[in-house]
Amino acid sequence: MKRPRTIFISLLTGSALCALALFFSGEWVLGLLWAFATHMLLLYATLKPSSQWLGPVVTSFQTEKQEVWLTIDDGPDPEETPAVLDLLDRHQAKASFFMVGQQVKAHPDLARLILERGHNIGNHTMNHLEGRFWSLFRGRIEVEINDCSAIIKEVTGVRPQLFRAPVGHKPWPLDKVLQKLKLPLIGWTARGFDGVSKNSDQIVRRIQTHIAPGAIILLHEGRGTLPDTLDKILLGLSDEAYRCVLPSPESFVCGRRKTIR
């Protein structure tokens, strides 16, 4: 069975050839419009975090229990990570921290502390080039991922087994790089847009809308709102008898699925 990426690339190639044929047959206006539409499809696949068109993205995990996966990006952060770890301990919750290599380099003790407290660490690139990661070529993507994994391994002794792209963007070569490195691309189910909003109540409401067994929750460090937001989320999950767990790779689900309620 062909992968969605293979089908999508074949369709893009065919569409581009149609655009060229129209252009050189004298129908240049129609050809330009066709080419524009083709590029918009590629841009959508690149910028839409949950799109599977350019390669598999884990967007949930399979479970029959009241379980969710809490994921925290952009740390470690000296102002927030210690408080976050205390909150997780208090609620008996586990989380995956997708770390930026430069932050690990700056705060190695916090990276080690996260593992010591029973959580795990994912790769979130070395420099978190959120404004241009979507446009990077293969060589630079490999450097960003490899350098991040190397500093995490150097500091903690553990090589990350998970990857999340900055802003969830998927440049064209990313899938091939991740296949080579044997890293799954982790997306999310529920996000509160805490990267742009500082209203913790609003953030929590957005996330709660998408909570279901197997949901992946996305939060961010370094914005000044995480401890307050996380406490409210964990209290809400506890009220609904949810547990925050670290799912096994065998349970990962790419794309949409019927949630078990």
Is there a contact between 61 and 179 (Cβ–Cβ < 8 Å)? no
- Give the residue among 174, 247, 209, 194 at the shortest CA–CA distance from 72: 194
Three-state DSSP state, 150: helix
In the 8-state DSSP scheme, what is residue 64? S
Strand 190-191 and strand 58-61: the pairing is unpaired
Q: Which two tokens stand for residue 19?
A: 């655009």
Helix axes 4-24, 28-47, angle to 10 degrees: 160
Is there a contact between 215 and 67 (Cβ–Cβ < 8 Å)? no
Reply yes or no on whether 73 is catalytic. yes
- Give the residue among 152, 178, 146 at the shortest CA–CA distance from 98: 152
- Of the residues 73, 74, 77, 194, only one is catalytic, namely 73
- Of the residues 119, 124, 128, 220, only one is catalytic, namely 220
Three-state DSSP state, 34: helix
- Residue 190 has φ and ψ, to the nearest 5°, of -125, 125
Spatial distance between the Cα atoms of 207 and 71, rounded to a whole number of angstroms: 12
- Reported in sequence order, the residue ranges of 12-138 that DSSP labels E, i.e. its strands, are 58-61, 67-75, 95-99, 120-123
Q: Which two tokens stand for residue 107?
A: 């705060």
The residues that are catalytic are 73, 220
